[in-house]
Amino acid sequence: MRFEGTFPALVTPFAEGAIDEEALRALVSRCTEGGVEGLVPCGTTGESPALSQKEHEQVVRIVIEEARGKVPVIAGVGTASTQRTIENAQAMERLGADALLVVCPYYNRPTQAGLLAHFRAVAQATGLPIILYNIPGRTGVDLALETLEQLAELKNIVGIKEATGNVLRSQAIVRAFGDRFVVLSGDDALTLPILAVGGKGVISVTANLLPRETSEVVRLWRKGAVEEARQLHLRLLPVHESLFIETNPGPIKAALADRGWIRPEIRLPLVWPAPSTVERIRNALKGAGLG
């Protein structure tokens, strides 16, 4: 499996508190028709900490069914517990996921030794390829390059979603590992800079709303149309930024609801974005000619 291109970090639509299967299937269909290279359910954008185990499996099963034969599915499985993460990983493998996204354990704030032991335990419990997910702003811990070098020795740990907001970190990883370890941007606004230093693509929030446009940035870059990629990236930049005015996935869900694609529901402790945020998203889309 090639981890290159655009992979939407899918939202989880709700209807009166339950998983909205119809809206989720329609979202998957729009993304695949928009030319994405894969799908990532049950990550941060999918509100995974707020899903029950049954709901987590339901979401991944639906996405796999809808995407079957079109694009691969990278299922989010990370939690604050190593044992629960292993159980999630094994459940996703049974469901037929193609790969796993495993975030650093949050809240516990393990040492680098703890992170190393955690990821090793998960990797040894599954045969699926693993994309690590480093997002210190959410987890409270930062996966150090030295720790990553040890983890990269495990054959099924194949890449990382870099959401540190620091292109220098992505650059250091590419320099250390070359093509044997995939770096994917975890921030839409940094996709092009990370591609420029050797990244292979993006796990994207914006792609829920604009799959064709976000995919095209990566596709243009990869075929050498650098100026076209740059122009499109800059055109989309205000949209990317507007989707992080408040805590993700509030703004992207508001944008999707504004188009009538999902219901305006999000789970506590997150709340629906303020009207001013929704208006700024609308203005960003209009300014990009996409409103």
Instruction: Read off the pLDDT of residues 110-152 as tens digits, 9 standing for 90 and up.
Output: 999 999 999 999 999 999 999 999 999 999 999 999 999 999 9
How many Cβ atoms are within 10 Å of 95's Cβ, its own excluded? 16
Task: State yes or no: pLDDT of 69 exceeds 90.
Answer: no
Q: Cα angle vertex 120, ends 182, 58, to 5°?
A: 75
Q: Are the beta carbons of 131 and 2 closer than 8 angstroms?
A: no
In a domain, 21, yes or no: yes
Structural domain including 68 reads 5-210
Task: State yes or no: pLDDT of 207 exceeds 90.
Answer: yes
In a domain, 219, yes or no: no
The CATH number of whichever domain residue 124 belongs to comes to: 3.20.20.70
How many Cβ atoms are within 10 Å of 244's Cβ, its own excluded? 16
What mean pLDDT comes out for the span 197-220?
98
Using pLDDT thresholds of 50, 70 and 90, give the confidence band for residue 1: confident
What pLDDT score does 170 carry?
97
In a domain, 173, yes or no: yes
Active site residues: 133, 161
What pLDDT score does 179 carry?
86
Nearest to 37 by CA among 252, 230, 224, 202: 202
In a domain, 25, yes or no: yes
Instruction: Give the count of domains, the chain.
Output: 1
Tokens of 288: 């990009």
Look up the pTM and report it: 0.97
